[in-house]
């Protein structure tokens, strides 16, 4: 048997929608691996699943968690390229169809029939989980708790940085500060970008200053906060020709935009939709090169509700991580 934190009926996080359950250890099917988990990062998308902003797509409820780090401990039939004992990371994209027009051109993040970890398939808020062998990432030895946030906060932050159109040395704005932002700042500094962070929380402002975030005019910007109300301000802060990339999977309503103030002079507003495996591999390469330092706050697996509540109420300085190994 294993422990799992499962969402059966989404509801406000302060009512603890994640239920601790003792469940049978799952068996991998064809092309799948079972992973014995050591840690899992806590992402705002998990909060949206728990509260029902993203309704779980798995019958009987779902185990959230898509920043899992652990070891392969069983292989399904026809699994190639992995061995028992391999250290791997599990990310948001559980599988893509591999055949649609988007997959054919390398844009599997836009797949017409994707499956996502912790939404369509059980994720990593558990002792064990099942993953598609072709969609896990090989990880070097290291601290599982510090590696976990790289698998979503890092990957999606890196994709948002790229889609903001920012070039080395150009000023970047970040709206909202948390797990992704504290990693993107380090990537931006590595590439010579001055960074200006907007955050309402004093503790986030302090961490941003520690990482180096001087105010400058903006060539590009990334919105990490799930607040559509910030979109007009972020667009207004852009220079001509600048781009605002919205990094969240869920966003509240965007107020009306004024064409002259917010979009004219070739300002661009674009969303960031999941990531490709190529994004993940490049982020992990970059994480080793810089190297990226993750600031983490650990919680036991059974405290997943509290971790998500702290995330919602902006009490997490850096990235929350669940400790799973016993």
In this model, does residue 218 exceed pLDDT 70?
yes
> If you average pLDDT over residues 268-284, what whole number do you get?
96
284 found inside a domain: no
Give the CATH number of the domain where residue 244 resides: 3.40.50.720
Q: Do 110 and 242 fall into the same domain?
A: no
172 with 126, same domain: the answer is no
Read out DSSP for 233-276? Answer: HHHHTEEEEEEEEE--S--PPPPPPPIIIIITTT-EEEE-----
Can you read off the two tokens belonging to residue 262?
A: 């917010």
Claim to verify: residue 132 and residue 10 sit in the same structural domain: yes
For residues 129 and 168, state if they share a domain: no
Instruction: Let me know: does 73 contact 37? Beta carbons within 8 Å.
Output: no
Residues 24 and 143 in one domain: yes
Flag whether 317 is in a domain: yes
31 and 163 assigned to the same domain: no
What mean pLDDT comes out for the span 8-23? 97
Residue 290 within any structural domain of the chain: no
- Is there a single domain that holds both residue 14 and residue 124? yes
pLDDT at 214: 53
Assess whether 120 and 23 both reside in one domain: yes
Please give the Cα distance from 45 to 55 (Å, whole number).
Answer: 11
Residue 211 lies in a domain: yes
Domain extent, residue 254, equals 154-271
Give the pLDDT band of residue 50 (cuts 50, 70, 90).
very high
Q: Which CATH number characterizes residue 133's domain?
A: 3.90.180.10
Q: Would you state the pLDDT for residue 211?
A: 53
What is the structure's pLDDT at 201? 60
Query: Quick one: three-class SS letters along 56-85?
Result: CCCCCCECCCCCEEEEEEEECCCCCCCCCC
Whether residues 145 and 158 share a domain: the answer is no
Q: Does residue 104 form part of some domain?
A: yes
Tell me, what's the pLDDT at 59? 85
pLDDT at 109: 96
Asked whether residue 187 falls in the same domain as residue 116, the answer is no
CB 319 within 8 A of CB 153: yes
Residue 37 belongs to a domain: yes
Q: Both 159 and 144 in a single domain?
A: no
Same domain? For 190 and 78 the reply is no
- As a whole number, mean pLDDT of residues 111-139 equals 97
Q: Give the number of domains in the chain.
A: 2
Helix/strand/coil percent split, the chain, to 5: 30, 25, 40
In the three-class reduction of DSSP (H, G, I as helix; E, B as strand; rest coil), residue 118 is classed as coil
Distance CA(305)–CA(174), nearest Å, equals 27
Q: Within its chain, how far is the Cα of 185 from the centroid?
A: 15
Residue 46 lies in a domain: yes
Placement of tokens 């999977």 in the chain:
249
97 found inside a domain? yes
Mean pLDDT of all residues belonging to the chain: 93
pLDDT band at 216 (very low <50, low <70, confident <90, very high): low
């Amino acid at each position: 048997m294993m422990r799992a934190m499962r969402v059966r009926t989404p509801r406000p996080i302060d009512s603890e929608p994640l239920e601790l359950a003792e469940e049978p250890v799952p068996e991998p099917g064809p092309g799948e691996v079972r992973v014995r988990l050591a840690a899992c990062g806590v992402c705002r998308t998990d909060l949206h699943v728990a509260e029902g902003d993203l309704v779980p797509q798995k019958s009987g409820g779902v185990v959230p968690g898509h920043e899992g780090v652990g070891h392969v401990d069983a292989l399904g039939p026809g699994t190639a390229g992995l061995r028992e004992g391999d250290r791997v990371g599990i990310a948001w994209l559980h599988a893509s169809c591999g055949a649609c027009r988007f997959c054919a051109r390398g844009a599997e993040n836009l797949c017409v029939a994707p499956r996502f970890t912790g939404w369509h398939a059980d994720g990593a808020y558990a002792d064990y989980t099942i993953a598609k062998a072709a969609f896990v990432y090989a990880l070097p030895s290291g601290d599982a708790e510090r590696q976990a946030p790289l698998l979503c906060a890092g990957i999606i932050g890196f994709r948002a940085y790229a889609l903001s159109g920012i070039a080395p040395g150009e000023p970047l704005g970040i709206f909202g500060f948390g797990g992704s932002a504290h990693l993107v700042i380090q990537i931006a500094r590595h590439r010579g970008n001055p960074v200006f962070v907007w955050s309402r929380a004093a503790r986030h402002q302090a961490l941003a200053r520690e990482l180096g975030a001087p105010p400058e005019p903006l060539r590009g910007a990334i919105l990490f906060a799930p607040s559509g109300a910030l979109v007009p301000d972020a667009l207004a802060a852009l220079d001509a020709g600048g781009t605002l990339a919205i990094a969240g999977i869920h966003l509240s309503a965007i107020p009306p935009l004024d064409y002259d103030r917010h979009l004219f002079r070739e300002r661009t507003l674009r969303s960031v939709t999941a990531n490709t495996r190529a994004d993940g591999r490049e982020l992990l390469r970059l994480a080793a090169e810089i190297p990226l330092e993750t600031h983490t706050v650990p919680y036991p697996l059974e405290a997943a509700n509290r971790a998500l509540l702290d995330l919602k109420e902006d009490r997490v300085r850096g990235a929350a991580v669940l400790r799973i190994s016993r």
